[in-house]
A and B are shown apart, each in its own frame.
Chain A
Amino acid sequence: MIAEIKRYLILILSILVVTSFAYLANEKKQHQKEIENFQEFAKEANKLKVLKAKWSNKKEDKKLLSQIKSRFKPNSYSQKGTTHILDFKSLDKASFHKLGKMLLNSNLRIKTMDFKKHEAKVSLHVEIII
């Protein structure tokens, strides 16, 4: 009977070793999968970070908008929600080129842009989303 108990002890310990090893292996596999999933998540998140820095950088956009306003003095300026509306009634050719370059080289989200030539002067209506 003691031999039987000893045999059962070995059997129980063996089962414990095997099941705990299987459980540990499974946990490790799951942890590895979690790491891989997170690496994928981080990769996508970093892409988003780059896009956000480019097209959702409100601080930079506001700074640039105030620069445009102070440098080119729009005839009218208004804001509807996130849309900033600027109207330039009589820009000379040089200012128009400078303003155009500034807008196109920036990362401001241009909603609409309406340019019209009136003899030597130019009128420009711009809507920017910030």
Chain B
Amino acid sequence: MSFFRPSKKPTFFITKNFNHSLSEKSNIVLSPEFYWAKRVNLNVKFKHEVKQMATSIFSDSLPEGNFEYKVFKLSQKEYIIVAYDIEFIKKKLTQLGIDMLHVDKIYTIQSEFLHDEVSLKVDDDFGLTSQDNIIVYLPLRYLEANNDVHRALKDKKLSYDYIYSNQLQKVNINPKQLKLLVYLLLLCILIIAFDFIKLKQDKSFFEKQKEVFIKSNNFPRTKLQIKSMQDELSFVDAIQVDIRESMLYIDKFKLNKTEYFSMIKLENNKILYKLKLDDKKRENLFEKYLSKKDKNHILIEKVK
């Protein structure tokens, strides 16, 4: 489905003598036999104003039917109005053996050669010519056709002025449903907009809370800085806790009355000691006691 580009589907020019069948999705261009056209000179600026007047312009000149109108602007005040009954056209096309499921868009030949001087051959008997910009379908003997309509359409880029679209039928737009759909979409947009405003408020509240937390505790702003400070203090914590544990561990060893530490020195994460013990056996016992201490950051060494 192409929304913005004219379709690349095959194009067929249809007259009431058409006797082929469509095997794939195609665009069809109707000969003037299927619609009525009038050239008018009106002192109005816009096409929709002309369209409002179309019913009265065609009054008494159209047969019974449910007619719709398409307006083409030729110059500032000159318009061509095409009147067509789409149900009648669809019925005729079906009678010609055309499967409507294979019809993508229906155009009038009028819209496709609006500003051109046309003199085209349709078949061996009929042709198309333009009179005051209105394209008419005539026996070939009344005109000098220099080109074939089928070839001309094949090379032509179709306009946006189609009178029927299968895609539109599929969407089945009726004004009530369209309004409902538009309201629903607008409601969705409104809900999203409210949600967005709420999110903005949440974000701003969160930023304020974050700022208060950082400023009140005098924290650095990045996680990296926090981590670096934390690592530094964690190391201090580990060393200081170990110093205390080591000191208390040494202190817990039960000395005899005559035994004593003559020196304990803490320097560069090392505890050096001089201990006067009663005998060799006691010295071994102390060393064995020290060896049971978990070795973390602080080394305990004997000074000789």
Taking Cβ atoms with an 8 Å cutoff, the residues of A that contact B are 1, 3-4, 6-11, 13-14, 16-17, 20-21, 24, 27-28, 31, 34-35, 37-38, 40-42, 44-45, 47-49, 51-52, 54-56, 100, 104, 107, 109-110, 112-117
Binds A, one of B12-20, B96-104, B243-251: B243-251
List residues of chain B with CB within 8 A of the CB of A10. Answer: 178, 181-182, 185
Contacts beyond the supplied A49-B217, A114-B263: 16 A-B pairs with Cβ under 8 Å: A3-B173, A4-B165, A9-B182, A10-B178, A37-B223, A44-B227, A45-B213, A45-B217, A45-B226, A48-B219, A55-B240, A104-B244, A110-B243, A113-B264, A114-B265, A115-B265
Q: Is the CB of B266 within 8 A of A114?
A: yes
Q: Is the CB of A16 within 8 A of B189?
A: yes
**Closest A residue by C-beta to B186:** A13
Instruction: Name the distance in Å between B251's Cβ and chain A's nearest Cβ.
Output: 8
List residues of chain B with CB within 8 A of the CB of A13. Answer: 182, 185-186, 189
CB of B289 within 8 Å of the partner chain: no
List residues of chain A with CB within 8 A of the CB of B161. Answer: 1
Tell which of A8, A42, A112 touches B267, judged by Cβ atoms closer than 8 Å: A112
List residues of chain A with CB within 8 A of the CB of B260. Answer: 117
Q: Is the CB of A44 within 8 A of B230?
A: yes
List residues of chain A with CB within 8 A of the CB of B237. Answer: 51, 54-55
How distant is the Cα of A102 from the Cα of B10 in the complex, in angstroms? 100
List residues of chain B with CB within 8 A of the CB of A117. Answer: 260-263
Instruction: Name the distance in Å between B267's Cβ and chain A's nearest Cβ.
Output: 5
**Closest A residue by C-beta to B226:** A44
Give the size of the chain B interface in residues (CB under 8 angstroms): 48
List residues of chain B with CB within 8 A of the CB of A4. Answer: 160, 165, 168
Q: Is the CB of B199 within 8 A of A28?
A: yes
List residues of chain B with CB within 8 A of the CB of A51. Answer: 230, 233-234, 236-237
0/1 per residue, B177-220, Cβ < 8 Å to A? 01001100110110011011001001100100010010001010
**Closest A residue by C-beta to B163:** A1
Instruction: Name the distance in Å between B88's Cβ and chain A's nearest Cβ.
Output: 19
**Closest B residue by C-beta to A41:** B223
Instruction: Name the distance in Å between B118's Cβ and chain A's nearest Cβ.
Output: 23
Instruction: Name the distance in Å between A71's Cβ and chain B's nearest Cβ.
Output: 20
